[in-house]
Structure 1
Amino acid sequence: MKFIFQFIIISFSSLIFVLSNTFKECQKPKNQGNQLEGCPNGTLYVSQNDPQAEFGTIQSAVESLIDDHSNQYILVGSGSYHEVVNVTRKGPLTIMGVTSSPSDYTANTVHLFNSSYINQTTQNAFQDNADAVVLTISPSRNASLVGSGPTGAPLQPLFGNIDFRLYNIDIANRAVNTGPSAALFVSYANASFYQCTFASYQDTLYVGRNASSIFVGGEVVGSTDFIYGFGTAYFENTTLSSRNTGGGLVAWKGSEEFYGPDTFGAYFNNSRVVKAADANTTLNLTGTRALGRPWNNQSRVVFMNTYMSDIVLPQGFIEWSPSDPRVFPNVTHFIESGSYGPGWNPSARNYSVESVISPEEAQSKYSVSAVFGEFPNWVDSVYVYN
């Protein structure tokens, strides 16, 4: 079946969502008192207004879970949840948002948000980007720390959730143009996300040390380095929306000393780079969105079969800064394959920074199985193809 899915998705990528209905019956809105019909046995229910719900907040439901390796499920009713959620549990956990259209992230009805940021002007030694996050999947605060410099925070001898899955929930950090203000952090964990959205301005989404994540569908919204990290992140059919164009769309770092060869990077397939729908209408972003810049010289960012709108910088990728470029031949890997659209300008790309490879080479080196060493057992195989 995986080969059939692969053929369908490559030929008609929009059909990936027609096949994506793993928890459709559970997520479907139902009459009061019946919301858990069609859900896995033992599913916990969170709602702000349904008397059937056992919990009024997502975090209280998470904290109630037994700390073992059993599969656990949480269904979240429609509404806006102003809270911070931390998942430290090691056992598999699936959180689903109620929706009548699980294949369409624009129809999501569950919204998780907070407003917090790191003031980099007054930041002290005890503050970290990890302290301003809406949803964190990490075994501890120390494990979630970003740290500073090319190597970041010290390595931790632990691992968190082995199989975290989130469906149809919008996550936003509503701090506006302030400093690092993340919607999502994943560190020392395996996590996958289906038709979810993540919105902020700076440093929206972070996949950190020893973390592996897959994002299917959905949208990531931001301005400056809004997808960044240490770990391995794979985006399939995701909309990448810029509110403004500071830094790069992606800022990534890696180290073979820590992870072994070819185990880190940010990979985008069948995705779209566009201006955000809520961007200031007076902003002209044409030709200003750099695809990425190297957080350290072992950065790896790959765009495959991705639509480049007219906001994309003609040269594609950029150096970290003129005084500190952080680009090393055969060490820094910025790659495009099959890019198309008005922002794809092969004659203007800076080939001293990036390279362009064939679709065949991209499939061989950067498919899901190639990136993760095998087809991951912690993803929903109905959504993700091999």
Structure 2
Amino acid sequence: MACFCVIFFFLLGSCALTNATDTETAILIVVDQSGMGDFQKIQDAIDAVPSNNSQLFYIQVNPGIYKEKILVPADKPFITLGGTNADNTIISWNDSSDIFQSPTFTVLASDFLGRQITIQNSYGSGAKAVALRVSGDRVRFSGCRILSHQDTLLDDTGRHYYTNCYIEGDVDFIFGNAASLYERCHLHSLSKENGAITAQSRGSAEEDTGFVFLGCKITGVNSGTALLGRPWGPYARVVFAYTYMSSVILPQGWDDWGDSSKQETTYLGQYRCYGPGAKTGRRVPWSHTLTAQEAEPFMSKDLIDGKTWIRSAPTKFRRFSYPNPAKIGGR
């Protein structure tokens, strides 16, 4: 087993909480399919946010099933998009093209917050069908449901924080090369045989990226049908800590994806996990069962520099005023 020091994991440069001038007050835009809001489509509301904005915008999405393919472009930071309940606020699309073209919802912007929404790719099994792609920095999802089968969540690049989210899929359904903390999330495997929950793609020892699952829960439809992960990149880094693992997890835990050289460079392991799938006695010998000292760098938001940028949803609102009323959709 390769000797590895984790003390430098996620040593990312500090940044200001946000460049927005006011982090409590947001301009409110309401999306309502019945025409009672400012727009009937979510994408129209996002398009209405000025480019290179420095003020928070809150897009309130009223209950409904929104059949849309959504893009939050890189020049529109500081957007919060929130529903009232993820069970009744659903964004759904059906696409099985490649991982960058198929996502139902793509975030390229920084300082984005998604709350209480369901993001779904309804294509089904048997092909790459991404529900959510996150390629912006300082992005948070809270209380969301992210649903597909293969490649559900492309956790691509940047620093990300997922809390109290439900993520469902069967093959490599959390994948990419972001620096991400998943806290109190529920991961549900739909795999029937040898599916993988994670496929992390860190490509070199110099990259401060990886996935940490802290206080999460893993369930599945069938016992002994899911791996904790396999390394997409040669230096893949994934840690599960204080996580309940049901019997869905295969005893070996991890797979080297047919490349034994990755056994020397990856860092895949667990710390104080519990449940029938958490037993380490039959894990692959190149995985890690962390000591308290080894686990310490993974136990807080410091690993994504979170204290400098993770923010709550705004609490004060001003209604959006339109320079041209003819641009208002759904009226």
TM-score by length of 1: 0.71
Alpha-carbon deviations, 1:115-172, whole Å to 9, x = none?
A: 1002xxxxxxxxx31110111011xxxxxxxxxxxxxxxxxxxxxx221000000111
Change (3 A) 1:376 1:274: farther
State which of 197, 209, 215 in structure 2 corresponds to 1:249: 197
Unaligned ranges ≥5, structure 1: 1-38, 100-104, 119-127, 139-160, 280-284
Task: Give structure 1 regions of 4+ aligned residues with deviation exceeding 3 angstroms.
Answer: 378-382
Q: Is 1:192 aligned to residue 126 of structure 2?
A: no
State which of 238, 258, 277 in structure 2 corresponds to 1:301: 238
Whole-Å separation in 1 of the counterparts to 2:195 and 2:247: 17
Alpha-carbon deviations, 1:146-204, whole Å to 9, x = none?
A: xxxxxxxxxxxxxxx22100000011100011311111001143210000010000000
Change (3 A) 1:191 1:301: same
Q: Is the 8 A contact 1:296 1:326 kept in 2?
A: no
Whole-Å separation in 2 of the counterparts to 1:56 and 1:290: 41
Q: Is the 8 A contact 1:299 1:332 kept in 2?
A: yes
Letter in 2 for 1:312: I
Q: In the TM superposition, what is the alpha-carbon distance from 1:215 to its structure 2 partner? A: 0.5
Name whichever structure is richer in strand by fraction: 2
Q: Is 1:366 aligned to residue 298 of structure 2?
A: yes
State the SS of the aligned residue for 1:59: helix
Q: In the TM superposition, what is the alpha-carbon distance from 1:369 to its structure 2 partner? A: 3.6
State which of 201, 204, 217 in structure 1 corresponds to 2:149: 201
Q: In the TM superposition, what is the alpha-carbon distance from 1:374 to its structure 2 partner? A: 5.5
Q: In the TM superposition, what is the alpha-carbon distance from 1:286 to its structure 2 partner? A: 1.4
Q: Is 1:94 aligned to residue 80 of structure 2?
A: yes
Q: In the TM superposition, what is the alpha-carbon distance from 1:288 to its structure 2 partner? A: 2.1
Whole-Å separation in 2 of the counterparts to 1:225 and 1:360: 29
Change (3 A) 1:109 1:249: same
Whole-Å separation in 2 of the counterparts to 1:175 and 1:181: 6
TM-score by length of 2: 0.82
State which of 281, 285, 290 in structure 2 corresponds to 1:357: 290
Change (3 A) 1:287 1:41: closer
Letter in 2 for 1:347: G
Whole-Å separation in 2 of the counterparts to 1:225 and 1:169: 22
The aligned residue for residue 70 of structure 1 is 55
The aligned residue for residue 156 of structure 1 is none
Q: Is 1:170 aligned to residue 118 of structure 2?
A: yes
Change (3 A) 1:326 1:220: farther
The aligned residue for residue 93 of structure 2 is 114
Q: Is the 8 A contact 2:199 2:230 kept in 1?
A: yes
Q: Is 1:287 aligned to residue 224 of structure 2?
A: yes
Aligned Cα root-mean-square deviation (Å): 2.0
Whole-Å separation in 1 of the counterparts to 2:246 and 2:261: 27
Q: Is the 8 A contact 1:113 1:134 kept in 2?
A: yes
Name whichever structure is richer in helix by fraction: 1
State the SS of the aligned residue for 1:371: helix
Whole-Å separation in 1 of the counterparts to 2:306 and 2:43: 33
The aligned residue for residue 337 of structure 1 is 271
State the percentage of identical aligned residues: 26
Change (3 A) 1:41 1:311: closer
State the SS of the aligned residue for 1:131: coil
Whole-Å separation in 2 of the counterparts to 1:317 and 1:78: 40
Q: In the TM superposition, what is the alpha-carbon distance from 1:69 to its structure 2 partner? A: 2.1
Alpha-carbon deviations, 1:80-106, whole Å to 9, x = none?
A: 00001100134211011024xxxxx5x
State which of 219, 226, 233 in structure 2 corresponds to 1:274: 219
Q: Is the 8 A contact 1:219 1:239 kept in 2?
A: yes
The aligned residue for residue 28 of structure 1 is none
Q: Is 1:232 aligned to residue 211 of structure 2?
A: no
Change (3 A) 1:133 1:271: same
Whole-Å separation in 1 of the counterparts to 2:78 and 2:204: 28
Whole-Å separation in 2 of the counterparts to 1:381 and 1:302: 28
Specify which structure has the bigger relative contact order, considering alpha-carbon pairs within 8 angstroms and separated by 6 or more residues: 2
State which of 321, 325, 333 in structure 1 corresponds to 2:260: 325
> Which stretch of the first structure deviates more once superposed, 63-72 or 243-252?
243-252
Whole-Å separation in 2 of the counterparts to 1:292 and 1:328: 13
Q: Is the 8 A contact 1:214 1:379 kept in 2?
A: no
Letter in 1 for 2:38: E
The aligned residue for residue 183 of structure 1 is 131
Alpha-carbon deviations, 1:48-81, whole Å to 9, x = none?
A: 1152x01001000000111122211100000100
Unaligned ranges ≥5, structure 2: 1-23, 315-331
Q: In the TM superposition, what is the alpha-carbon distance from 1:373 to its structure 2 partner? A: 4.1
State the SS of the aligned residue for 1:291: strand
Q: In the TM superposition, what is the alpha-carbon distance from 1:348 to its structure 2 partner? A: 1.1
Q: Is the 8 A contact 1:162 1:378 kept in 2?
A: no
State which of 23, 39, 62 in structure 2 corresponds to 1:55: 39
Letter in 2 for 1:267: V
Q: Is the 8 A contact 2:149 2:169 kept in 1?
A: yes
Change (3 A) 1:380 1:356: farther
